[in-house]
Structure 1
Amino acid sequence: MLLCKKIRINVSEQDAATLEFMQGKCRGLYNWWVLKLRNGEKWDLYDAKKNLQESKQHDPELVQVYGKLLQEVYYRLDGAMKAFFRRVKAGEAPGFPRVRPRHYFFTLCYPAMYLKIEGDKLILPTGGKGKNKQYSNIVARLTEIPPEQFKEVAISRDGKGNYFASFVRERQEKQYEIDGIVAFDLGIKTLATSVNEQGRVYTVGGFKGSRWYNKQLDKIRSKRDKCKKKSRRYIHLSKVYKRVSQKKRNKQQDSLHKASHLISHNLVERTIVVGDLSQRQMVTKQHVERNKHLNRAVYNEWGLYAFLEMLKYKCVLYGKELHFLDERNTSKQCSGCGNLQAMPLWKRTYCCVECRLVMDRDENSAHNILTRFFARRAPHTERCGVLHTPQSGVDVTMASCEGQVQQLNLFESA
């Protein structure tokens, strides 16, 4: 698996002009071949590379571009053509390679063996030799320490004109001494509750600042609605509304990243099982009629879909296995005797009428998910993969079967 570390680099005006020149020539060569292919030219990677010398004679300025960058243009176009033929064969939308516009920065990919790093300096070679060398090598200042044993470096530019160097390297396999299974149940009042084979319970709290931010946004929106549209105060309040909304989204994303990193990296268990939660079933008409305050119980803006997507790629990153199981009836079933009983959403404590088991609703569901994963009980649908108050974060509570509880505040809370 390949990993990438993106580092901002500082270049002088002369070196920036050199980068713009080389990427412009690479983009022009790419667009020239795209237009030839549109006119019926047959694509063959090796034949195209043989015509590079003819292209240099047609445009002598290509000599001033580093040769490996020009060869990368052909490999990039070859990948685009292979994807085009694959989509045509599968009966999908073809999506023929497009011409890159002038404002588009054509990424420059340097192999690692042709680069030099001296302290915080990254030296990028240019084309030409001896007296014919018009542009000197580019010296870029790194703002961070680059990773070791990288394969290539991709130079890119953002919309603000800042340049970045992306170091691509292989992920080092991490050996886990402890192998175990932990099952997670995505809840309402807490983001997730889990239990492992030893009976230890993990509770991951989600972002708790949504209501506070929603109140602030409601106040701003109420003031804005009283103003005349497109007035100075209306425009000012609109900007404030956008700024507060963006801050709320950033803190929510930060909370989800911390929670997913905690589960995929910090937990010692090797296998993670997550109940496939259906939020649509939570707001059925039957539930609403039984509880007038249901909306307050269900209300959360944790972004469970985004949380699961983060968990997927982070499990791949840290070498964990991620499984999804259908959690139907896991909240209604007793984890002790298997008795099924009605459990409306307003009931947060499971009290079994048969064996008198008293347990938190989400904890009981996590036990059932773990048991279902071991026994492969029906019904289950498995998909396997290798896969803020203003200052709030994620709170994690660890508890054992005997009732010993230890509170771990991994991040600062309000």
Structure 2
Amino acid sequence: MIISYKYPIFPDEATQQKLAEALDACRWLYNRLLQELNEAKEKGIKLTTYDTQNMIPVLKLENPKLNLVYSKVLQMVNYTLWSNIKGLSASKKNGRKIGRLRFKGYGWYKTMYYNQSGFKLDQDHGCLHLSKIGDIKIKMHRKVQGCIKAILIKREGRQWFAIVQADQEPETLPATGKSVGIDVGLKSFAVDTDGNSVENPRFAEKVATKVKNIQRRLSRAMKGSNNREKFKEKLNKVHERINNQRLDFLHKLSRHYVNNYDIICVEDLDVKGLKEKGYNKGTHRNIHDASWSKFIFMLSYKAESAGRKLIKVDPRNTTQRCSTCGSIVRKELSDRIHECPYCGFSCDRDYNASMNILIAGMEQPVVPIESKPLHHISVMQVLAMKWEALPSRVG
């Protein structure tokens, strides 16, 4: 399976200039190929991936800066364009209202893809060589395992990163003999069938006022001024910090479940569909901040690499159904306690949902169970990984 490793790189000023010029050349090529596709569509001509790829040598004559970029990287620009087109087509088939593919403005093309060749990574000396760019210092905080297939160079604000993709064999963890059902939500980020209630970190909400103040000052600054660039950089740093905090939390929580359970059952959530429902703006922001999809994605690939099993179940009625007798007990969002009028079972609504998720995932019959008092797990406990003795493998 393909595993990605992300490392910070530290190009000098001359190399940064080369990287920036290469990215802008890739942006120009992306826009030019998109223009060709739009013009061909208006004329009723249907182009293929190979047609646009064959245009690249001709476009090098039109824009000599393309010669400063490794040929495979230019081919991957064409691949990215067609991947975006296919993604839009798939969304349209699913009934979503999607417009046309947009052109990339200055600074909006941030990734170069070296696929299979054009790079050399010296892990012992922390040096990355890129064709037509040169040598760049790279901070290898852990060694890459397996065969390196590709390297992506990404600009995030003023920082540069290398994302190394390697094909490696799954490292199976020893069996634990345990299974778990997890219900994700907004009041608690996750409640599981062992009675653990993980606090929702709400990283974006905690700095919402700060973000709003910076955005207000940014909107008032004159376009093109140094002041505007200063506030733009401040805003980027705040968002980068939020994203880093969120990723750290999700990585450690997902690693805990993969390390400690053989079978993990979760809801097969349509998060985009939830965002399109008639919730208020605050609820939409909270759903986005929670990043349930990212958490489930992390569970998925980590479970696969560790020889665990992730089961996604139909989310319908997981909250409304009684986990003891199977009866449907209707609840509003404000109802935090599940009280079954048929069998008398009472527990936290999220714990009841987690039990239903486990029952559905394991395809077990409904049997009487005992209510468990929830054990609150703080964000700091997750980040410190101290709420249970865990194996040393983290990340």
Q: TM-score, normalised by structure 2?
A: 0.59
Matches within 5 A, 1:184-203: 184=182, 194-195=192-193, 201-203=194-196
Following TM superposition, by how much is the alpha carbon of 1:268 offset from its aligned partner in structure 2, in angstroms? 2.6
CA distance, structure 1, for counterparts of residue 265 and residue 378 of structure 2:
30
SS in structure 2 opposite 1:113? coil
CA distance, structure 2, for counterparts of residue 94 and residue 303 of structure 1:
22
1:78 is aligned, of 75, 82, 99, to 82
Following TM superposition, by how much is the alpha carbon of 1:142 offset from its aligned partner in structure 2, in angstroms? 0.5
Contact 2:182 2:264 (8 Å CA) reproduced: no
2:170 is aligned, of 168, 173, 176, to 173
Name 1:28's counterpart in structure 2: 28
Contact 1:275 1:369 (8 Å CA) reproduced: no
CA distance, structure 2, for counterparts of residue 269 and residue 77 of structure 1:
39
CA distance, structure 1, for counterparts of residue 249 and residue 365 of structure 2:
29
Matches within 5 A, 1:330-341: 330=322, 333=324
SS in structure 1 opposite 2:61? helix
1:271 aligns with 2:264: yes
For residue 4 of structure 1, what is the amino acid of its counterpart?
S
Contact 1:351 1:359 (8 Å CA) reproduced: no
Contact 2:178 2:260 (8 Å CA) reproduced: no
Contact 2:148 2:164 (8 Å CA) reproduced: yes
**Change in CA separation of 1:30 and 1:172 when aligned onto 2, cut-off 3 Å:** same
For residue 270 of structure 1, what is the amino acid of its counterpart?
I
CA distance, structure 2, for counterparts of residue 209 and residue 89 of structure 1:
34
Name 1:183's counterpart in structure 2: 181
Following TM superposition, by how much is the alpha carbon of 1:363 offset from its aligned partner in structure 2, in angstroms? 7.1
Structure 2, unaligned runs of 5 or more: 211-234, 270-285, 304-308, 368-375, 391-395
Following TM superposition, by how much is the alpha carbon of 1:80 offset from its aligned partner in structure 2, in angstroms? 3.4
Structure whose CA Rg is larger: 1
Contact 2:319 2:349 (8 Å CA) reproduced: no
Name 1:38's counterpart in structure 2: 38
Matches within 5 A, 1:252-263: 253=246, 257=250, 260-261=253-254, 263=256
Name 2:144's counterpart in structure 1: 147
Q: Deviations over 1:30-64 (max 9, x none)?
A: 22222222223642332333343333334444333
**Change in CA separation of 1:102 and 1:77 when aligned onto 2, cut-off 3 Å:** same
Following TM superposition, by how much is the alpha carbon of 1:255 offset from its aligned partner in structure 2, in angstroms? 9.1
Matched length:
318
| RMSD value, Cα | 5.3
CA distance, structure 2, for counterparts of residue 111 and residue 390 of structure 1:
41
Following TM superposition, by how much is the alpha carbon of 1:29 offset from its aligned partner in structure 2, in angstroms? 2.3
Q: TM-score, normalised by structure 1?
A: 0.57
**Change in CA separation of 1:275 and 1:362 when aligned onto 2, cut-off 3 Å:** farther
CA distance, structure 2, for counterparts of residue 4 and residue 141 of structure 1:
19
2:310 is aligned, of 309, 321, 325, to 321
Name 2:120's counterpart in structure 1: 116
Name 2:214's counterpart in structure 1: none
Contact 1:26 1:106 (8 Å CA) reproduced: no
Following TM superposition, by how much is the alpha carbon of 1:122 offset from its aligned partner in structure 2, in angstroms? 0.6
SS in structure 2 opposite 1:39? helix
Matches within 5 A, 1:4-403: 4-40=4-40, 42=45, 43-84=47-88, 86=90, 93=97, 95-118=99-122, 119-126=125-132, 137-145=133-141, 147-148=144-145, 149-160=147-158, 162-170=159-167, 172-178=169-175, 179-184=177-182, 194-195=192-193, 201-206=194-199, 253=246, 257=250, 260-261=253-254, 263-272=256-265, 306=290, 308-319=292-303, 320-324=309-313, 326-330=318-322, 333=324, 370=358, 373-377=362-366, 392-394=380-382
Structure 1, unaligned runs of 5 or more: 127-136, 196-200, 221-241, 277-301, 379-387, 397-406
Taking every aligned residue pair, what percent have the same amino acid on both sides?
21
SS in structure 2 opposite 1:28? helix
CA distance, structure 2, for counterparts of residue 259 and residue 150 of structure 1:
25
Contact 2:72 2:117 (8 Å CA) reproduced: no
CA distance, structure 2, for counterparts of residue 114 and residue 347 of structure 1:
59
For residue 172 of structure 2, what is the amino acid of its counterpart?
Q
